[in-house]
A and B are shown apart, each in its own frame.
Chain A
Amino acid sequence: MLFWIGLLLLLYLVGILSLHLHFLLFVWVPLCLGLLLVWGVAIPAGNSAGFGLGSAEAYRTALIALRIGAFAALLQLCFVPLLHRSELVVTLTAWGLRGSALVLAVASMTLIDDLRYRVDQVMSARIARGLAARNTLSRVLQLPAMLRPLLVFVLTSAVRRSELWTHRGLERRLAQIPVENGFGSRSVSVLILAGAIAWLAASLLL
């Protein structure tokens, strides 16, 4: 518990507390409700695994909830260096990514914005064409038609961009970007990640 509060403080310091709170509200709270339902209500109190509300097993269940929360906070902390856009390549290189792996990582993170924009455009266009469906079933049935322009966009983009990369030698150029010791120095990130995994393993086994 204390550990988590400490992490929250750190998250606040690096400025991504809101991201974590979002996680708490939309993922963690439903998880806790689920835990309460399964362990507290459904499993009879006499069962060795169930606790009935108020027994000693409640402590273990609460522990699970805390563990997930703390782990999430820790993980988000590890990824902080990646949120600094302008240093992404430097950070990833410092983490040891090279060649195709580096291209893949940088491109996926950069292209999310493109795809989000396209998704938004496709949905607007569908409304503008008067094709928007009203009830849930027809919306499900329309999904393929909605996603088709997206898939074609993705395929065309891949063909065009692969040509661009080769023609301009961009992969080679990417490798030549000088690596300085940026915000996410490799050792710190590796240390945090290793710590998180070790701690998770330990708490699972306890």
Chain B
Amino acid sequence: MSESYAPAPILLEGPNFSGRTAHLRGFVGLPPVSGGELTQGLSGGAFVAQDSQNFISGLATTGHLELLLHGLEQCPFREDIERLTVQLRLRECLDRNPFTLSGGEQAMLTVLSAAAMTPRRLALDGVLEQLSDASREVMLDLIGGPLATVCATRLADNRLTHFPGLLERFSLRPPGAVPALRPDTPWPGRTTGKVLTLAGIRFAYRRGQAVLDGIDFRLQPGRVYVLHGANGAGKSTLSKVLCGILRPRSGELLTATGQRVQPWREPAGLFAYHFQNPDLQLFHTRVRDELGLVGEPSDGGTFHLVHGFGLESVLDEHPLDLPYVLRKRVAMAATLAMFRPWTILDEPTLGQDDANCLALAAFLRRAAKAGAGIIVISHSRWFSAQLDAEHILLRGGRLEAVVPTEISAEKRV
């Protein structure tokens, strides 16, 4: 192969279940699903998927050693990778055990270690979805730049569809009818949101500075809220405080009538909280039980959700046996099925294709209009724009209302 061999990265486009993962795995010499027969390291390829913690070797005690293990010393663009670790603010993370990093940091580390291997072929399956737009841009510079001189890259990534880049695109079609979200579903609307005032909420982890440093904000149902904030700004801490998993150091929640509410006394009573990673919040052996469905369509509200999330055909399956796209939807539907006054959804669109994202956005808009309190955390600018939302930003431990243009400026800093 000549020195000038420089294939442009190819983006695989296509809806959920169009076989993008199988294609990517085949591209780097892996069987279509994990667990098949495999011969050792013949292919010179590397594969990273969205469950990035499973693509950390576990054989290196620090991020830096992880890169060395993957052959950073011999890598021809070692300096580029080291420069990126600075740009992506990964420097301090490299001294820590990779398993103590946040999801986004783990995703970046796995892509960088795959690159450090200097593979001939690299396949990235949805792993860039977890990054902020700015970080994703930096990663694409590496993939389309130095890496492309030695390595052919293919990606599947629902968010890159809206990313104006110099990627070649290649479309796949699904083989047949597959369960999709239905955009026309009405919000079952059994409960409505409550006006809530957060007054002076402070929180700090045991040995550390305050993550939330006096949150003063009035939450009013009617429109979807989108919660923004850089990595580590405290978005999930705030969610946990509201949900009642963590008890704030000080501050209170007040209802419209001035009544005090203490979420930690009755966790998940006021706020239901859907985590980013669906796999650890599915506890039952059938989807039906997970959603709390008892018997047949008598339970109208939840059946609307089943219909809206396209889950009819999987009601009797084991939730953890489903593909990621559906696991995410089951976990989300189960959280919404609690019908709490407020629901917090952390990265609800992970793994979902465009059509599903639009359907979800329509559903959430309608729910908010019907009076349900909905708070969305999402790094996808495109998805946030579909929500007709109030944008709020967590910065320096405080919460404020912002307009979207301000946010993109903030994230680039």
Contact = CB atoms under 8 A, between A and B. Distances in A.
B69 A170 contact: yes
Contact of A173 (B55, B71, B273): B71
Contact of B54 (A117, A125, A130, A161): A161
A149 B59 contact: no
B283 A163 contact: no
Given A131-B283, A165-B57, A174-B69, A85 B97 contact: yes
A121 B99 CA distance: 13
Contact of A125 (B70, B281, B285): B281
B53 A124 contact: no
A173 B70 contact: yes
Instruction: State which size class the interface on A falls in.
Output: 35 or more
Interface residues of B, number: 59
Given A125-B280, A127-B268, A149-B280, A117 B334 contact: no
Give the secondary structure class of B's interface: loop
A163 B61 contact: no
B41 A169 contact: yes
Contacts of B334: 129
B207 to A, nearest CB: 13
B38 interface: yes
A5 B62 CA distance: 34
Contacts of B98: 110
A167 B34 contact: no
A14 interface: no
Interface in B257-304: 267-269, 272-275, 277, 279-285
Contact of A159 (B30, B34, B69): B34
Contact of B59 (A106, A128, A157, A160): A106
Interface of B: 28-30, 34-35, 38-41, 43, 45-47, 51, 53-55, 57-62, 64-65, 68-71, 95, 97-100, 117, 240, 243-245, 267-269, 272-275, 277, 279-285, 320, 334-335, 338, 340
Interface of A: 85-86, 88-89, 103, 106-107, 109-111, 113-114, 117-118, 121-122, 124-132, 145-146, 148-150, 152-153, 156-157, 159-161, 163-170, 172-174, 177
